[in-house]
Amino acid sequence: MPGANLTRVEAEERASLIKAPITYAVELDLTQGAKDFGSRSTISFDAQPGASSFLDLIADRVESVELNGHALDPAQVFKDDRIELPNLQVHNTVTVVSSCQYSTTGEGLHRSVDPSDGNIYLYSQFEVPDARRVYAVFDQPDLKASFDFSVKAPESWLVTSNMPVATQQPVEGSTAEGTMGDHPAESVRLWSFETTPVMSSYLTAICAGPYAEWHTDYANEDGRTVTMAMYCRQALKEAFAKDVDYLFDITKKGFAFYAKTWGVPYPYAKYDQIYVPEYNAGAMENIGMVTIRDSYVFESKVTDALAERRVVTVLHELAHMWFGDLVTMKWWNDLWLNESFAEFMSTLCTAEATDWHEAWATFCSGEKSWGQNQDELPTTHPIVAPIKDLKDTEVNFDGITYAKGASVLKQLVAYVGRDKFFQGIHSYLTKHAYSNATLADLLTELEAASGRDLKSWSAQWLEEPGINTLRAQVCQAADGTIESLTLTQSAPADHPVQRSHRLAIGFYNADPATGAVKRTDRIELDVDGESTEVAEAAGKQRPDFILINDEDLTYSKLRFDDKSMQFAAQNLYRFDDALTRAVIWLSFWDMTRDAEFPAERFVDLSLKMLSTEHESTSFRYALQCLKTTVWHYTAPARRQAVASHVATELWKLAQAAQAGSDEQFQLVTAYLGYGQEGDQAFAADINGLLDGSVQLSGLEIDNNLTWNLIQALAAVNQIDQDGIKAQLAKKETTENRQFAYAALAAQAKPEAKDWAWNQALHNADLTNAQMDAICQGFDFTTDSSLAQPYAERYFEAVDWIWEHKTFHMAETLLEGLYPVYADPQELVDRGQAWLDSHQDAARALRLLVMGNVDASRRHLRVSAYNQGLKA
């Protein structure tokens, strides 16, 4: 299909014609107004003589195209977001002058206006690829090139790119008209940057605006001094200043850890981190200038889970400088080479080089659980996914590519040994530096280092989808010793692959003196095939609990023997190790959503766990899964009673929690999601927190918590539209606008839901972040009667959304507006009817719909199981 959706076949054909060296000179003019900017791209490259190819460009208009000194008619050569390049020579130069458009969707060159001070901030986001939204380019990862960027911008702005500034100088006689919003026109400055090393186009970047800035240096392991900088909006300057030194320190620890672990020093000239508004992702690994969502600038209290996630994100993007940037996948089917590795390494670095020593427990609860969930959907795919075009890639930034891939890499390290693994990574990075590589290239180096044949391992783990289940079977002698311990492995019928595992088995016993449950023995072994006898266990005293996959070395569903399961269900909160608790709890959650463990028993188990748990991400995820269980998995006839019970217990736990603690904060925030219209006690609690008549020692009602309380009141109709707008008028910021949109959409009124629906679909002035906030508020109210009308409207709107919205906005709408609290049977019926009638729809669109519908199928299946249980 021509246009923006490049296919793999087209990319391979183009790569066979276009030859290195490829160079770009890109000139951008950011002074032309609030809608458009000028773009001039001059590209030099070699090619197969006589061949024809094309450039990628998404632009309002193309003013001129000149190829090898000859003018081409834009009306003839520019169509379907491509510029035809006919009759190429051995050496070629093409210049394209165009007018491109700022986005408010986080794609291409995003433009954000801060309402608190009127300042304008620009930043680029080019993955999957969207560099073509800013300049004419061969926009595929294997056509690496060097780039020279120059940018005209208002004089008061600063401009950053991948490389250090070469020169900056005033542009005589020029003014920035209309660019500065309410600010008067001002003079123009031209910024030019040093030439980049050879790199992929999706990793180029430009940011511009009156950003606040901080600087330091790093003494690189190769003897160079690497300059470092951090940036954020002026409105966040005071809050960010408190964290800058800490984040610089985290980054420097990452530099040292990665250089030591891989034996390759940081390869680039500088390292900037720029915190930007209204970002679609967590961050992006642009070479030398990482962009990070500025919700990671903390003006209000946040959970320790989010604070830790910020550290992991910083280290994730830093890991990409080597793995993904220095060595880049040839095509998007190896996206996992970037993301899985960065996710694995950032967790390892967080655990071993920072104060967040329980990062692997965080990974198990927050990331691995995400991967397991997605691996059981009909939309699952191999880690090395079949990617035929860019649309396939866009839906591949998921729990398989990130979390499952990282889990499997952890298993690979256990399988080949840590030292051998990183020896292979060193060889891979040095052999393919500044070029592209494939999975085969990586396996070659790991095989050479470890002596293991990894082709069969790769076939099992990387090239087949699905998740296996490991079960423990124990035969116990009369004297309490183990006669036999057997591990059995099963695979789902639709993905019947048996996998080899390197794992550990932990024996755990309660300490008679303290009651704490501690590991007393450990066995490490290889597990393969349908049945594996654990010979070393025979004759040992049977412990209170036997943990398959101790230390979480492999990726699998776990089912404990009956005695172990009963012990863990009663004593999970007493286990003294955070990772152990996370592994066990994830198995109980898995059993609950598989209709193998009663929902109400899981509710009680989770509430007991929350009374003592201090690992923040495990705490956060337990609260999240608790809510899903209450509203979707319990027996429908019991649902309201269970919800009331959980709300009461959460409030009690919050009142009993340590003053000012992370647990107190999370419990209060979770309680806000259980309000029901007419519940006067709930309304009194929330209003009391707002006016000070209800106080929890140490709990500060800061800006963000205030807005969470406002949204909770809106969801039970205790504050109206005027009240929400009055709250916004007290302090109108980028963030508070989003909070207000969410609160307006959360109101438990049919007219409010209708407003939210129409705003999200049809208000073209909304930014991506505002649209997302409306979707979040639309889905906040659990009242099924409010959601029910949208079961039909949703499936009527799917095609229109896909046709009229960019991919990221379509994804937000299709996931955020799915009426999850409507009758699940109707959602399944309508969803299946849509899928049956859209067999030829885009694969990416079908995957989004299938994921939603499968969630409703699970809701039906699990709630029916719980409905059938005896009281």
From residue 421, how far is each of 345, 444, 504, 553 by CA, in Å?
Answer: 12, 12, 19, 15
Contact 97, 39 (CB under 8 A): yes
Owner of token pair 């090898």: 68
Neighbours of 351 (CB within 10 A): 18
Q: Is 317 a catalytic residue?
A: yes
678 phi-psi bin (left φ>0, alpha ψ -120 to 50, beta other): left
Contact 501, 529 (CB under 8 A): no
Bond prior to 21 in cis (omega within 30° of 0): yes
The four Cα atoms 277, 280, 285, 287 give a dihedral, to 10 degrees, of -60
How far is the C-alpha of 773 from the C-alpha of 776, rounded, in Å? 5
Geometric angle at alpha carbon 110, from 805 and 158, rounded to 5°: 175
Residues in contact with 209: Cβ distance below 8 Å, sequence separation at least 6, in sequence order: 119, 120, 121, 122, 157, 158, 233
Strands 120-125 and 206-209, sheet pairing:
antiparallel
Nearest to 673 by CA among 646, 635, 706, 703: 646
The residue ranges of DSSP E strands in 348-410, in sequence order, are none
C-alpha R_g of the chain: 28
Per-residue buried b or exposed e for 595-632, using 16+ beta carbons within 10 Å of the residue's own CB: bebbbbebbebbbbbbeebebbbbbbbbbbbbbbbbbb
SS3 state of residue 788: coil
How far is the C-alpha of 381 from the C-alpha of 404, rounded, in Å? 11
Neighbours of 683 (CB within 10 A): 19
How far is the C-alpha of 852 from the C-alpha of 826, rounded, in Å? 13
How far is the C-alpha of 429 from the C-alpha of 317, rounded, in Å? 17
How far is the C-alpha of 556 from the C-alpha of 538, rounded, in Å? 24
Residue count of the chain, please give it. Answer: 871
What sign does the dihedral 186-187-190-191 (CA atoms) show?
A: negative
Residues in contact with 459: Cβ distance below 8 Å, sequence separation at least 6, in sequence order: none
Nearest to 807 by CA among 842, 775, 756: 842
Contact 8, 331 (CB under 8 A): yes
Q: Which of 317, 343, 367, 394 is catalytic?
A: 317
Residues in contact with 188: Cβ distance below 8 Å, sequence separation at least 6, in sequence order: 31, 152, 153, 154, 155, 170, 171, 174, 175, 176
Residues in contact with 3: Cβ distance below 8 Å, sequence separation at least 6, in sequence order: 80, 81, 82
484 phi-psi bin (left φ>0, alpha ψ -120 to 50, beta other): beta
SS3 state of residue 24: strand
How far is the C-alpha of 320 from the C-alpha of 273, rounded, in Å? 13
First to last CA, the chain: 57
Strands 327-329 and 435-437, sheet pairing:
parallel
Catalytic residues, by residue number, are 317
